[in-house]
Amino acid sequence: MSCEDEAEKQATEIHQVIVVMVPFPAQGHLNQLLHLSRLISSYNVPVHYVSTAIHSRQAKLRLQGWNPLSSPNMMMIKFHEFPVPAFPSPPPKPQTAVEFPSHLLPSFYSVLHLRQPVAKLLSVLSLTTKRLVIIYDAVPSIIQDAVTIPNGEAYSFQPLSAFRISSYVWETMGRPRGIDDQIAKQVPSRASTLTPQVMEFIKTQEEHNKYSSGALFNTCRAIEAPFLDVIAKVNSKQWAIGPFNPMEVCKNSRHKCLEWLDKQVPNSVIYVSFGSTTTLSDEQIESLAVGLENSGQKFLWVLRDADRADIFVGDGRARKLPKDYEERIQLNGQGIIVRDWAPQLEILAHASTGGFMSHCGWNSCLESITMGVPLATWPMHSDQPHNALLVTVVLKVGVVVRDWMHRDDLVESSAIENAVKKLMTSGEGEEVRTRMLELCKAVKISVAEGGDSRRDIDDFIAHIRR
Instruction: Indicate if 29 belongs to the active site.
Output: yes
* Whole-angstrom Cα Rg for the chain: 22
Q: Which of 29, 48, 350, 359 is catalytic?
A: 29
Q: Which of 35, 80, 103, 137 is catalytic?
A: 137
Burial class (CB in 10 A: 0-12, 13-18, 19+), 5: exposed
Nearest residue to 162 (alpha-carbon basis) of 209, 216, 205: 216
Please answer whether residues 42 and 50 qualify as being in contact, where contact means their C-beta atoms are separated by less than 8 angstroms. no
Give how far the C-alpha of residue 146 lies from the chain's centroid of Cα atoms, to the nearest Å. Answer: 26
What φ, ψ does residue 252 adopt, rounded to 5°? -90, -145
Residues contacting 382, CB < 8 A, separation 6+: 100, 193, 194, 198, 277
Instruction: Indicate if 463 belongs to the active site.
Output: no
Nearest residue to 21 (alpha-carbon basis) of 122, 163, 127: 122
Nearest residue to 333 (alpha-carbon basis) of 401, 267, 272, 265: 265
Peptide bond preceding 243: is omega within 30 degrees of 0, i.e. cis?
Answer: yes
Residues contacting 20, CB < 8 A, separation 6+: 47, 48, 50, 118, 121, 122, 125, 132, 133, 134, 135, 143
Query: Which residues participate in catalysis according to the annotation?
Result: 29, 137
